[in-house]
Structure formats: C-alpha cells, structure tokens
Structure 1
C-alpha cells in the first residue's frame, strides 16, 4: 500500500514539478476522509538547492537516508538533466527502492535520473517531448515514447512534462485507492481527473527540410496543394521520374513515404486551423484534403490521440470548441 512518499531533490530542481508532488501527496485532506501520506522532501545533494532559474533556494528537511523508508520516491525535473551526472548515493537509493518493491516516479527530465540508475533499461518510458531524443541517445536501452502523458511500467512510472506529473500522480492514487478518491483530489486541485489524448498533440513538428534538390521542389508543391488529390504517379511526373524511383528517392531524402508525409502535413494544417480560426471542423477537413469531418477525426485521433473538438477546446477554450 502506498503510504510513505519521499521526493528526491537535486540542484536546479523545477519548482512546478516539485509542487505537483507536494500538492497531491503532501497536502492533508483528512477532513474529507481522503488518505494522508507520510510525506517528505529530501536533499540528494549538499547545501541549499537552487531552483530552476535560480529565483530561490530550497532547504529540504531530510537527507537522502529518508528515501530508505519510502513506498514511492518522486523525482522532479531539473534544468541540467540532459547533460549532468547524478550523485551515486541517489542512484543507489533508487535501485534499492525498486529491489525492495517500492515505486519510483519521475516527471519531465527527472527521467534522466532514473535512466542513470539503470531503471529505464528494457522499459517503456517517457519524458517531455523536447528531451525525448536526448533521453533515447543517452540511454539507448530505454524504449522512449514521446507521444504519451505518462507510462506505468511496474515499479517505474515516468511522466512527460509539467501537468503530466499531475496525471501520473492521480493515476497512482486511482490505482491505490480507487477512482472516487482520485476524483476528489482532482476536484480539490481544480484539474481533470483524467485527460484525453497524449503528449503528441503538444509536439511541434515543423515542415521537414531537405538539403537535396531532387524532391525539394515537389515537396514545396505538395505543401501548397494539401487540399487536393496527391498521388505518387502525379508527384513522380512532376519530378520527371518513374513512380518507383520517386518513392524510393523521397524515402531516402525525407525518411518517410509520400503518403505519410502528406498525411502528417494535413494533420499539422488542421491543428493550425483549429487553433487559429473559427472555421467548422467540416470546412477545415476540406481545406486540409481530408474530404469530410469523419476522415479528419479518424486521422487526427490516430496521429495525436485526441479528437479535433478536444484539441480545439484545449487550445482555444470550451466556447471556441462549441
């Protein structure tokens, strides 16, 4: 049972992610009949710990030895995570925690701490989409999924960025105490108990660039004509190649197929129009080359893990979505 929760801090800790753990697990809500955790914030390094941005310093009440009692160890983000090393006593404490059956939970770049402890090897995990490639390079045995809000892999839970830490914490509460308790805590925090979709809807994927002129002009033409029918045969004709040669060359230079490229750019355009205009979903579907709202919804959901209406509500508010 999850009763004892400790947060391990290093220099450069991100205040928001620390605050998430304090709010979910460190707030006494016993007057509502909600669980109360034995909660502690622990220093994994010596001296006052600087916050991300250096606006203030934090002096935790406990040292790293407090981690030995925890059923759950939380690791918030820190601003130097992609390149820095971590204290070996902290990494040892995390490994021992998992060995004795405790859980560990990272948020955002806190995943680099778990990776340094070897706890991501062979496991699915996530981090903020901006750090996903760096996490993959530094810990090649980790299976990094940059599209999800959080991943629960047995004793190791990793959350994407900032608010995704709330999602992961409420997931743990829901698993330990049931949906009613998780929903009550979410209401106190004035946050949704569960969010639709994943991190994919927040990732910025600009138009791929190619340094080669072989398909560059064709790509520019494709980007201007997303609302029309685009076939490999037509593209090959514009590039003065056979369809097979064009498809092979396109894959070599862009890393994807013409079909997948067009589909991704159509979804990107739909995102821009949903966020920046008042056009109906049906009209946007036509402008993006999907033909109708049903097709747009299908590809939007498959690519981003959420619906066009949910995306518009998230980025423009419920009044715009209506």
Structure 2
C-alpha cells in the first residue's frame, strides 16, 4: 500500500484537498486499498484553511510517507521553521515529495529544489525566480517532475499532479479511469500550458462553446466555418458573426490557436517528428505549421522542440 500525506499548515489553500478524491477513486476502481491517504500537519489536530474552516489532521509521521504533498497558501507564507526542517530531511524517508501551487516556495525554502526544474502558480512565478534564482522555474507548465521532486501549478493543477502520480504507480489506464470518474473534461499532461486558448477566447454562449469543443476534439479534421456552424447549429453567416462578437477573432484564427496549442504540447511531451505532429493537429504539412508557430510564438517548431529537451524519433 502507498501512503500519501497531504501536508497542510495554517491558511493553506483549500482546493488542495481535492487531491484526496484522486486517491480515493484509485482505491475504488482498483477494488483494493492501493493508497492510504492522510491529511497531516506539524502537530496534528485542526488546521484552519484560507477560507476559515478547519480540517482535522494527523501529526507528521517520523518514518515518512511514500508520497508527501505540500499544499500551498494564497500569500506564499512559509510554515514554521521546524516544519521546513522536517521537509529538508524528507528525501531520506519519503520516496516522492510534491507541492501544489505555492507549496513550491516551501520546498524551495527547505533547499529541495536547488538545481532542479520546478513550477508554481503563474501569478507568483516572478517572485519565485527572484527569491530562488538557482531553481529552473518552468512557469508555463501544469506540473514538473525532476527526480524525487514533483511540483504543480496553481489550484486545480494539483489534481493533474495526483493523476500523474497514480499513472506512475499503476499505469495510464488506471489514471484515465480515475479522471473519467471525476468527470474531468480533459486529463492534462505535465507539459501543457497553464494558459488555455479555450479559456482565453471567452466564449459566452453555449453554441460557440459547442463549436470550440468540437474543434478541440477534431483538430485533424476539416474545420471549415460551415462545419463549425453545423456543430453550433447555426447558419455559417450567423455563426461567423456571433463567433467574432464573442471571441474577437475569426473562426479560422481560433482554430489555428487551438492547433498551435495542441501541436506545442505534442512536441514537448512526445517524440513524434514534426511531420507527424503537423498531420495529427490538422496543419497538414510542416510549412503551414511553421508559419502558424511564427505568428503565435515568433519561433519555428524546431526551436521550441529543442528547448523542451525532447529528441524526436527519426521519421
């Protein structure tokens, strides 16, 4: 059985508690006690969250945990010196140490991230880099794994981190089953950006949201205005007008943004050659994808792929 401790301290961000459901459903779906999950704190007992309610916690175990996850808070405040010292020694008695959101500041204060790659909430990225310049912060990532250390971005990204832990322990299919049970629209990979093109488009009506959802699920297909209008159950003319009013851009431009986002994630998390990425994300050929990347990022796909450290397979 894997022991998992969620470490909380006064004013912790309450959304961190959501990771408990990931491990709960892993147990239910595997029909066995795969995880023993506990909320833990320095002394045990009630610990107040950032919203004012308290949760019961167990005292930290001296023998450690298979996985110890440090919750963050809203203001990047550090817990007690004794708790930071406990974490400093944690790698000696815990297999995996993780943080959610600004919990990365706590791991950094304990000296656990020096010389490693890590991430945290985008809002606090600049402050983190200023305080801890020897840590390679990847601020545009959902979660980052570097050896024993696992760090995630803000808030809901803790669920993605927990799903990745389940995948590491019991395989991709179990992780997918848990995500489906939790009714997650998308199980996000660690390389995915903290910023979502779908979210930034700000579609208000159900019909435009339906069209965007259809597009994101069928990027390799023909996504003409006529096809998107059909998905939205509007005439092409009406759809184009409503789409531009709600998103401030044309359907073609929106589709390009979705394809660029998907292509970048695919290049950073797989070893597919650029030709395959271009085909799978609907660009058709590498030149069309290259032009789209230059418009979006000012860099060609090869530059971004090299920066990610991924070596594509020979085509």
Partner of 2:188: 194
Give 1:44 deviation, angstroms. 2.4
Partner of 1:17: 16
Give 1:92 deviation, angstroms. 2.6
Partner of 1:57: 54
Asked if the contact 1:12–1:80 (Cα under 8 Å) also holds between the matched residues in 2, the reply is no
1:64-83 matched pairs, under 5 angstroms: 64=60, 66=61, 68-81=63-76
Partner of 1:255: none
In the alignment, the residues of structure 1 paired with residue 101 and residue 298 of structure 2 have an alpha-carbon distance, to the nearest angstrom, of: 22
Q: 1:74 to 1:284 in 2, by over 3 A?
A: closer
Give 1:280 deviation, angstroms. 2.0
In the alignment, the residues of structure 1 paired with residue 169 and residue 130 of structure 2 have an alpha-carbon distance, to the nearest angstrom, of: 34
Per-residue CA deviation, residues 131-153 of structure 1 (Å, 9 max, x unaligned), is 11111122222111111111101
TM-score, with normalisation over the residues of structure 1?
A: 0.61
Give 1:123 deviation, angstroms. 0.7
What is the aligned counterpart of 2:156 among 153, 163, 173?
163
Give 1:105 deviation, angstroms. 0.8
Higher radius of gyration, 1 or 2: 1
In the alignment, structure 2 segments of 5+ residues that lack a partner are 201-242, 257-286, 302-315
Asked if the contact 1:7–1:40 (Cα under 8 Å) also holds between the matched residues in 2, the reply is yes
Give 1:78 deviation, angstroms. 0.9
Task: For residue 79 of structure 1, give the secondary structure of its aligned residue in structure 2.
Answer: coil
Q: Are 1:40 and 2:38 matched, yes or no?
A: yes
Give 1:69 deviation, angstroms. 3.2
In the alignment, the residues of structure 2 paired with residue 200 and residue 30 of structure 1 have an alpha-carbon distance, to the nearest angstrom, of: 32
Partner of 1:154: 147
How many pairs does the alignment contain?
Answer: 225
Task: For residue 68 of structure 1, give the secondary structure of its aligned residue in structure 2.
Answer: coil
In the alignment, structure 1 segments of 5+ residues that lack a partner are 206-271, 286-291, 307-322
Asked if the contact 1:97–1:103 (Cα under 8 Å) also holds between the matched residues in 2, the reply is no
Task: For residue 181 of structure 1, give the secondary structure of its aligned residue in structure 2.
Answer: helix
1:1-322 matched pairs, under 5 angstroms: 3-19=2-18, 21-27=19-25, 29-30=27-28, 32-33=30-31, 36-44=34-42, 48-54=46-52, 56-60=53-57, 62-64=58-60, 66=61, 68-81=63-76, 84-191=77-184, 192-195=186-189, 197-201=192-196, 276-277=247-248, 279-282=250-253, 294=289, 297-299=292-294
In the alignment, the residues of structure 1 paired with residue 295 and residue 6 of structure 2 have an alpha-carbon distance, to the nearest angstrom, of: 37
Asked if the contact 2:72–2:102 (Cα under 8 Å) also holds between the matched residues in 1, the reply is yes
In the alignment, the residues of structure 1 paired with residue 298 and residue 174 of structure 2 have an alpha-carbon distance, to the nearest angstrom, of: 32
Give 1:179 deviation, angstroms. 0.7
Give 1:11 deviation, angstroms. 0.6
Task: For residue 130 of structure 1, give the secondary structure of its aligned residue in structure 2.
Answer: helix
Task: For residue 48 of structure 1, give the secondary structure of its aligned residue in structure 2.
Answer: strand
Give 1:274 deviation, angstroms. 10
In the alignment, the residues of structure 2 paired with residue 186 and residue 165 of structure 1 have an alpha-carbon distance, to the nearest angstrom, of: 13
Partner of 1:244: none
